[in-house]
A and B are shown apart, each in its own frame.
Chain A
Amino acid sequence: MKIHLKIWRQKDASTKGKLVDYDLDQVDQNMSFLEMIDTLNKQLILKGDTPVEFDHDCREGICGSCGMMINGQAHGPVPGLTVCQLHMREFAANETIYVEPFRALAFPVKRDLKVDRSSFDRIIQSGGYITANTGQPQEANAQLITHEIAEAAFDSAACIGCGACVATCKNSSAALFTSAKISHLVKLPQGKQEAAKRVLKMVAQMDAEGFGHCSNTEACEAKCPQGISVLNIARMNWEHLKAAIFKD
């Protein structure tokens, strides 16, 4: 099938970008969206043009590298997918598809569809861990964790750090990302020791990076490829309140 693309091209953070038109023939409906861009890029290279830069790596929805706005939606029209898992069968022949980078103050554009998401790393750095240096931890079965708690912790831990939650939020809030890590660790008994310190530091870092506040529209959950629940945000707020009250 034939498609029309309008792709955001921008040389670097300080240069103004614009949407550029491309037409693509012979798009197979079983192609992934990224394979479609590969095909476009090959044509651009052979014509002597600059190919479209975009982040991608595992191409199976788990590394969290890829991410772009497709027709205004983070990761495109299908819920529960990353761009690499989105296939062209979701689009109609002759459709015009708008492709733009994730937009957020804390995600500056590097080039074209590539953005800088190192702010996420700094949030984890500020406290998103359990201090358990390599050495001689206790026997793994010494502390029992019920099936339900382990599964609930996993549900929060499944976040792939792609940034769709931020890109889709009208406030560019990183509340879903930050709260998923806070919840994962606080749900487990081994994560409770540092809970208060962790939530205060991570929320402070999130604010310092320039992410907006959460105003409970729940758009993030709807666009999260891992289906991370907004209840994590409620838990983060509760943990934050507790920690702030009992700080001293």
Chain B
Amino acid sequence: MKLDAKIPAGPLADKWSSYKEHAKLVNPANRKKLPVIIIGTGLSGASAAASLAEQGYPVTSFCFQDSARRAHSVAAQGGVNAAKNYQNDGDSVYRMFYDTLKGGDFRSREANVYRLAECSLNLIDQAVAQGVPFAREYGGYLSNRSFGGVQVSRTFYARGQTGQQLLLGAYQALMKQVDLKKVTLHTRHEMLDLVVVDGKAKGVIVRNLDSGEIERYAAPAVVIATGGFGKIYYLSTLAMGCNASAIWRAHKRGALMACPSWTQIHPTCLPQAGDYQSKLTLMSESLRNDGRIWVPKLKDEKREANAIPEEERDYYLERRYPSFGNLAPRDIASRAAKERIDAGFGVGKQRNAVYLDFSKVIKEQGIDKVKEKYGNLFSMYKKITADDAYAAPMKISPAAHFSMGGLWVDYELMTTIPGLFAVGEANFADHGANRLGANSLLQASVDGYFILPYTLANYLAGELKAEKITTKHPQFDLAEKEVKEQLAKLIKIKGTKTADDFHKELGKLLYDKCGLSRSAAGLKEAIAGIQVLRAAFYKELIVSGEPGEINAELEKAGRVADYLEISELMCHDALSREESCGAHFREEYQTPDGEALRNDEKFCYVSAWEWAGKDIEPVLHPEPLVFEFVKLSVRSYS
């Protein structure tokens, strides 16, 4: 299989305009005949659904939550980047492009990343027009702050709830289209299979989570906007329902999966407190604008944080990365924390955390200013831990957060199955091996509002004369039968371990062997371990209830079944890449001072994986990354 990224020719700055100028269009009268299915109503799914419906395509949208407004984009805290250069501090589309490319350790496509930066300008205008209440200066101009991995202030924010506000903008635009009957929205529905007819995506099988019924939907185009799968690590910053099922089932139907092991482990989360814990809450990266990270210089320090004098504190980020300091990118900050914790300098009861200290900024700017900037984060911290972060430093720890990997897509956001598109975190596209903070809201929005409406039209223009496939097609019968059989099989096992038990075990294994650092030996152990766990799952699982009713346990079991497969692919992916880049840190490949050692000669490609069948090793199809406009450099933040 030869992968074609379909990058338009021409100068970098002209590629996207040139694409738009030459893309095929569909006449407004014909758009009514070309329905589109969109799975997921987060920022990318809702913005895509609203924008396509506004153009006149009949859209059918699905989400597993009970309202489209609850998708996990809602939880993004810190902000959204745009190269507006409102602060006159040297920002530009090119600068943002370069920061993002470098932040991703040169493992993404130049053309995609440039387009992301280019479209960022428009996104802020769009969001403001929808009524997103971004922070403003007293005179009325939009305000910005700085995020990790950059030296300009280009992050727009709405207190610590930027994701919520952007999502509500998209949700409201979507609900308007629902009211106009341009979008049919099915909440509490989960995609369980993709239907492919003659090599093209033609529909989906979904389960109504409130009735348990299996339903079929057909359309000449299917868009997957189901977000990331960091929940595979069990303890993560993700929502409980986030999952890999839609992308994994599409993968098994022929869509290649790209760099699935590239997971961002976020440096500023609340540490684990006990075995019962179900998630790790994220504290926004924006806190690193003013908070200083440190651990005691003394091993097994017994004193409280405030009792440790200044000279006995190790501000290790400021020490190791003086030019970026506490705003070093996420992968670097997380690894540095792990290094200190593993070396015995961790703090807290379980010695699994580091301090994030605000005493300096409180002294300099006053407690009121700090409250205004971070009030909701400090109160969230207090709610969960019962500790007051104004009085003593927060205790934070790294946690699984964002999937850079996902379904492989070309420049048009189309997967290797014609007619199947993937947008937002569900795809692998713009972030390379590490995503910069405040770029995920951006990518989700840009994919949905500004890119897909052009590229999907370009595909659908060719489908006008194609044979219309309905849900009566035998491929639908087949897919539905398989889905029903799998659900019945999970319930029939009647073992002694719950889906959560398996999920926790898998998560721990994956975090240890395919998390912040990886090694060939560890990954091989993980693959063997996952195979054992998967076999046990089909013998010892217990699911209560029936398939034909509300059944949260059955939903979980289906997701864990998929996790037990995609995790193995993640390990193969990490094992085959014999270099360190971004979030992918192979212990065998590091510089003498412990930094990632990239190998551009051998691994300057995207690893796209093909499903070869059950219990057969996946097949790698490398997509070479060609850098025409920038020179690859060592990613240094020191």
Contact = CB atoms under 8 A, between A and B. Distances in A.
A70 B58 CA distance: 43
Given A53-B550, A124-B172, A150-B136, A46 B75 contact: no
Interface in A43-59: 44-46, 48-51, 53, 55-59
A128 interface: yes
B453 to A, nearest CB: 7
Contact of A134 (B54, B137, B161, B543): B54
Interface string A201-216: 0000000000000000
A160 B140 contact: no
Nearest to B141: A141
Contacts of B168: 157
Interface in B46-89: 47, 50-51, 54, 65-70, 72, 74-75, 84, 86
B290 to A, nearest CB: 19
Interface of B: 47, 50-51, 54, 65-70, 72, 74-75, 84, 86, 122, 124-131, 133-142, 158-159, 161, 164-165, 168, 171-173, 175-176, 178-179, 187, 210, 239-241, 273-274, 276-279, 281-282, 379-380, 383-384, 386, 449-450, 453, 496, 498, 500, 542-545, 550, 552-553
Contacts of A116: 66
B165 A65 contact: no
Interface stretch (A81-89, A92-100, A166-174): A81-89
A207 B54 CA distance: 29
A30 B158 contact: no
Given A34-B278, A118-B66, A138-B129, A130 B50 contact: no
Contact of A87 (B74, B135, B386): B386
Given A63-B75, A128-B172, A145 B136 contact: yes
B550 A144 contact: no
Contacts of A14: none
B210 A110 contact: yes
Nearest to B158: A154
Interface size class of A (residues with CB under 8 A): 35 or more
A62 B279 CA distance: 14
A102 to B, nearest CB: 12
A46 B139 CA distance: 61
Contacts of B386: 87, 89
8 contacts: A34-B278, A55-B66, A59-B239, A110-B550, A130-B172, A134-B51, A144-B140, A157-B133
Interface stretch (A185-193, A228-236, A239-247): A185-193
A64 B75 contact: no
Given A35-B277, A55-B66, A137 B500 contact: no
Most buried by A among B68, B139, B173: B173
Nearest to B242: A57
A38 B498 CA distance: 11
A46 B496 contact: yes
Which 7 A-B pairs have CB atoms at the shortest separation, nearest pair first? A144-B140, A129-B172, A137-B129, A132-B129, A134-B51, A150-B136, A154-B133
B552 A140 contact: no
A99 B140 CA distance: 47
A201 B154 CA distance: 38
Nearest to A34: B278
A30 to B, nearest CB: 5
A180 to B, nearest CB: 11
Nearest to B76: A62
Contact of A50 (B72, B172, B544): B544
Contacts of A191: 131
B550 A35 contact: no
Given A57-B70, A58-B72, A63-B74, A132 B173 contact: yes
B65 A125 contact: no
A114 B124 CA distance: 37
A184 interface: yes
A147 B140 CA distance: 6
A115 B165 CA distance: 25
A136 B125 CA distance: 8
Given A38-B500, A140-B84, A141-B142, 13 more contacts: A50-B544, A60-B282, A80-B379, A80-B383, A87-B386, A117-B67, A130-B131, A134-B47, A137-B126, A144-B141, A145-B140, A146-B139, A154-B158
A101 interface: no
